[in-house]
Each structure stands twice: as structure tokens, then as C-alpha cells.
Amino acid sequence: MIPALVLACVGLALAIWVFGRRPRANPCAWSDTGYRNGRMHEFRCETCGITGFGRDGQVPRVCKRGLGR
Ligand SMILES: [Zn+2]
């Protein structure tokens, strides 16, 4: 016999877990500057005005906006 309260708690925890793992949309608008450093491509974030490097033509995964200038 499993109390309904326990089932509700497990369901809620599962829902939070699934929701929390959902990847967030990247709000940054990256544009390729054309600069290459080996396999790293330089991109500029049009949203934040900073530059970052992405590997093999992929946009940077994170924006360094919060790491200072
Ligand atoms: Zn950005």
C-alpha cells in the first residue's frame, strides 16, 4: 500500500526534475566574425556585444557577458 501523498511527491519531484533538465534557449544572437584560430571560430554576440570562440563552427555555448569586459 502506497499512500497517495507519497505518489504525489514522487510525481512532483519527477516533474521538477524533467522541467529543470530542459535546455534553455540561447538568447544570444551569434554572428561569425570570420576570424579563425585553428578549429576555433570567433563569434560576436549581437545581443551583448562580446566575442567568444566556438569549436568547429558551433556557436559558443555560453555568453561571457557576466565575466567582465
Ligand atoms: Zn550574449
Q: Each residue's pLDDT tens digit in the chain (69 positions)? A: 778 888 898 888 888 787 777 656 667 899 999 999 999 999 999 988 889 899 988 888 878 665 544
| Distance from the alpha carbon of residue 16 to the mean position of ligand 1, in angstroms | 27
Q: What is the pLDDT of residue 18?
A: 77
Q: Record the pTM.
A: 0.54
Residues with CB under 5 A from ligand 1 (ion): 28, 45, 47-48, 63, 65
Q: Give every CB contact of residue 47 below 8 A, 6+ residues apart in sequence.
A: 27, 28, 29, 63
CA of 52 to the centre of ligand 1 (A): 9
Helices assigned H by DSSP within 1-69: 4-21
Query: Are 54 and 30 a contacting pair, CB within 8 Å?
Result: yes
Cα angle at 29 between 23 and 30, to 5 degrees?
100
Q: Ligand 1 centroid vs 50 CA: distance in angstroms?
A: 7
Go through the chain and tell me how many residues it has.
Answer: 69
